[in-house]
Chains A and B, each alone.
Chain A
């Protein structure tokens, strides 16, 4: 697993799920499983912006970019200033 995915997985497991190993796959849908709700989504976005030093435009805060670890990592990679 690449570093971004690892960071995201660890954060979701530790801070949101409070269960090591809770994210069983990087494609696990965090929204339809109830892991991410309105509050934890806001918490996650806040973490992503701080950790990866980004300002995520509001029009890009959509289900497709944030529903799984893989989706978030792909989004961050695609929108990285270096890419």
Chain B
């Protein structure tokens, strides 16, 4: 079952690419229409059409990606303490260094690119941006996971002694924030709910359940190994149903909100879907498929792909906006370009550094 985690990580990496590619698709469909409508007129993909629902599916399937990454990380923490029972600061420090050095490197590169574009933030704002991952919209994950590694000194003893209590409390905290999101979409006026609904994505409480679940699972792997396989088909069925339910739910939220656009946030159904997907992947640990190896290979490169894909996709989308705007009108042209760039550029770069003896030793500092 342990090896299945690499496959889960690989799936999550693919999901990340699809999610952000879909995001750019929606940007084109909702915010960039004036750029291409004069060129293509009625031939453009429309909100509510086939392309819209393809994008929605691409956006929905990967909502389990961040939960999966956090779950695997929590499980790793459990691995490091399973016999000794105590979180060791050198291990946590090593992990933080491996995360932060590439993160700071790529943040610095992106800040330089912002300067080149004439969009340099104020110097006073830069520390805040680095602490919260604001240099790039996808970078919030790094401060998030760093908080969890630091919190593991408290989470691990709880996971050992009171696992159910930990999971229940973590689920309640996370759900309270999700409730805040729901109610804010519908304009419910309440200072508390507005505060909850404004909780930034980089703050640990928004995803507390997933890392905690990973730690608890890490202490109970034998139990999972013995019990999960018999539930694999019901779990797979539940996963499929919850994907569809998640798409329907978000459509309902979006249309009921009356807003022009809503950025996707994890909902209650998404949470159950992510849980079902993670357990399904683990439950099938005795089965193998031809895609296992390539997906696992992607899983191994997940951090490097994560750091590079988002800015690359952004620049690709903007380049298409400026150079070939008619492509924006057709998602079946636009999406493959953004996906290939988002996955291909990081993989090429990582491969180039890995194969070049002079810089090979810097691979870890660049890509984790």
* Chain A residues in the interface with B (C-beta under 8 A): 17-19, 29, 31-35, 37-43, 45-46, 49, 56, 58-59, 61-64
* Chain B residues whose C-beta falls within 8 Å of the C-beta of A41 in the assembled complex: 76, 79
* Chain B residues whose C-beta falls within 8 Å of the C-beta of A34 in the assembled complex: 93-95, 97-98
Let me know if A33 and B363 touch, CB within 8 A.
Answer: no
Q: Roughly how many angstroms separate A44 CA and B361 CA in the complex, as a whole number?
A: 19
Let me know if A37 and B80 touch, CB within 8 A.
Answer: no
Let me know if B90 and A29 touch, CB within 8 A.
Answer: yes
Given the known A-B contacts A18-B360, A34-B97, are A63 and B6 also in contact in the complex, defined by CB atoms under 8 Å?
A: no
Given the known A-B contacts A38-B75, A39-B302, A58-B1, are A19 and B82 also in contact in the complex, defined by CB atoms under 8 Å?
A: no
* Chain A residues whose C-beta falls within 8 Å of the C-beta of B82 in the assembled complex: 62-63
Interface of B is mostly: helix
Q: Roughly how many angstroms separate A50 CA and B83 CA in the complex, as a whole number?
A: 25
CB nearest to B69 among chain A residues: A38
Q: Roughly how many angstroms separate A26 CA and B361 CA in the complex, as a whole number?
A: 20
Let me know if A45 and B91 touch, CB within 8 A.
Answer: no
* Chain A residues whose C-beta falls within 8 Å of the C-beta of B221 in the assembled complex: 58-59, 61
Let me know if B361 and A18 touch, CB within 8 A.
Answer: yes
Q: Roughly how many angstroms separate A62 CA and B88 CA in the complex, as a whole number?
A: 14
Given the known A-B contacts A32-B88, A58-B222, A63-B82, are A39 and B94 also in contact in the complex, defined by CB atoms under 8 Å?
A: no
Which of A19, A45, A49, A63 is within 8 Å of B83, CB to CB?
A63
* Chain A residues whose C-beta falls within 8 Å of the C-beta of B81 in the assembled complex: 63
Sample of 28 A–B contacts (CB below 8 Å): A18-B364, A29-B90, A32-B91, A32-B93, A32-B94, A33-B90, A33-B94, A34-B93, A37-B76, A37-B95, A37-B98, A38-B5, A39-B9, A39-B299, A40-B300, A42-B2, A42-B5, A42-B299, A42-B300, A43-B6, A45-B2, A46-B6, A49-B3, A58-B1, A59-B221, A61-B79, A63-B79, A63-B82
Minimum CB–CB distance from B68 to chain A (whole Å) comes to 12
Interface size, B (range):
35 or more
Q: Roughly how many angstroms separate A42 CA and B364 CA in the complex, as a whole number?
A: 17
* Chain A residues whose C-beta falls within 8 Å of the C-beta of B91 in the assembled complex: 31-32, 63
Minimum CB–CB distance from A6 to chain B (whole Å) comes to 21
Q: Contacts A42-B6, A59-B222 given; 20 further ones with Cβ under 8 A?
A: A18-B354, A18-B360, A31-B91, A31-B94, A32-B88, A34-B95, A35-B94, A38-B5, A39-B6, A39-B72, A39-B300, A42-B2, A43-B300, A46-B296, A58-B2, A61-B2, A62-B79, A62-B82, A63-B79, A63-B91
Q: Roughly how many angstroms separate A61 CA and B88 CA in the complex, as a whole number?
A: 17
Q: Roughly how many angstroms separate A49 CA and B303 CA in the complex, as a whole number?
A: 24
* Chain A residues whose C-beta falls within 8 Å of the C-beta of B361 in the assembled complex: 18-19
* Chain B residues whose C-beta falls within 8 Å of the C-beta of A49 in the assembled complex: 3
* Chain B residues whose C-beta falls within 8 Å of the C-beta of A42 in the assembled complex: 2-3, 5-6, 9, 299-300
Minimum CB–CB distance from B169 to chain A (whole Å) comes to 24
* Chain B residues whose C-beta falls within 8 Å of the C-beta of A43 in the assembled complex: 6, 300
Residue B62 at the chain A interface, CB threshold 8 Å: no
Minimum CB–CB distance from A49 to chain B (whole Å) comes to 8
Minimum CB–CB distance from B145 to chain A (whole Å) comes to 10
* Chain A residues whose C-beta falls within 8 Å of the C-beta of B360 in the assembled complex: 18-19
> Nearest 7 pairs between A and B by C-beta?
A34-B94, A32-B90, A38-B76, A42-B6, A58-B221, A34-B98, A62-B82
Q: Roughly how many angstroms separate A37 CA and B93 CA in the complex, as a whole number?
A: 11
CB nearest to A58 among chain B residues: B221
Which of A29, A38, A40 is within 8 Å of B73, CB to CB?
A38
Minimum CB–CB distance from B308 to chain A (whole Å) comes to 16
Residue B249 at the chain A interface, CB threshold 8 Å: no
Residue B368 at the chain A interface, CB threshold 8 Å: yes
Report B214-227 CB contacts with A as 1/0, cut-off 8 Å: 00000001100100
Residue B287 at the chain A interface, CB threshold 8 Å: no
* Chain B residues whose C-beta falls within 8 Å of the C-beta of A17 in the assembled complex: 364
